[in-house]
Amino acid sequence: MINHHPSTELLLSYVAGNLAPGFSLAVASHASMCSDCRKRIAHGESIGGALLYSMEPAEVSEDALEEVLARIETGCLPGDNGDHITLHGKSEAPDPLRSFVPGAFDDLPWRTLAPGMKHIRLPVDEDSAAKVRLIRLAPGVATPAHSHRGHELTLVLKGSFSDELGRFGPGDIQETDASVSHQPMADTGEDCVCLIVTDAPLKFDNLVGKILQPIFGY
């Protein structure tokens, strides 16, 4: 049962194609676990369609149609980035994450950050300040208390955590910004695995976190 969904604003940004890749990945992963949000996305896309339908036309060059028909004749048609995604094998992660998680979470090359806390940086949007990573917390382990300079999206993939904002289980997504300070803790007997996307470094609230900052590399 998914209780925490992306906000309408976040979902509309996703639908409009305005999210940075990591955030888009998190929303797409949530949607692949949540049929309600797949519906909301389809509705948003219909709004995009209606806006396109009533859009003020702009002038197109006179021979554009001829050029396009000529390219159809030659069979020289464009591909797109959606064409080459093939899925095989059984992954523990939702489809959009499958290329990073080919099998079980246990089989990933986790790196230890602190006792009971592991992570993997995913190679997404690496040229920007954004960080896209999987975090794994052992039962009862909490991250250092922190707040945010930018936005943070957390999607629970396995297990659950609790923090000042509530309890988050598989498929739940948490959106936080500069106004939120929290300390998520894995709250059941199993590890909690999350996808976490941030667009700016975190701010740690205490000395331990500040010392860990370079290691976290947030």
Partner 1 sequence: MPPEQTPESLCDLLRAVGVDQDKAAFAELFAFFAPRLKSFYLRGGAANATAEEMVQETLLLVWRKAAMFDASLAGASTWIFAIARNHRIDRFRRERRFTQLEDHMLDAEVAEDPKGDETVYAAQTETRLHNAIQELPPQQVEVLQLSFFENRSHSEIASHLKLPIGTVKSRLRLAFGKLRAGLEDIWE
Residues from 103 through 142 that contact partner 1 (CB under 8 A): 124-125
- 5, 13, 98, 159: residue in contact with partner 1 (rule CB under 8 A): 13
The one-character DSSP state at 112 is E
98 by Cβ neighbours in 10 Å (0-12 / 13-18 / 19+) ranks as buried
Q: Which SS3 state, helix, strand or coil, does residue 177 take?
A: coil
- 149 to 188: interface string for partner 1, x by CB under 8 A: ----------------------------------------
Give Cβ neighbours of residue 42 (< 8 Å, ≥ 6 apart).
none
- 8, 112, 166, 208: residue in contact with partner 1 (rule CB under 8 A): 8
In the chain, DSSP finds a helix count (H) and a strand count (E) of 5, 12
With tokens 């910004």, the residue in question is: 177
28 binds partner 1 (CB under 8 A): yes
77 binds partner 1 (CB under 8 A): yes
Phi-psi region of 106 (alpha: psi -120 to 50; beta: other; left: phi over 0): alpha
- 183 to 202: interface string for partner 1, x by CB under 8 A: --------------------
49 binds partner 1 (CB under 8 A): yes
The CA distance from 194 to 174, in Å, is 11
47 binds partner 1 (CB under 8 A): yes
- 5, 6, 30, 31: residue in contact with partner 1 (rule CB under 8 A): 31
Give Cβ neighbours of residue 98 (< 8 Å, ≥ 6 apart).
87, 91
Task: Give contact residues for partner 1 (rule: CB under 8 A).
Answer: 7-9, 12-18, 21, 24-25, 28, 31, 35, 38-39, 41-61, 64-65, 67-69, 71-72, 77-78, 80-82, 85, 95-96, 124-125
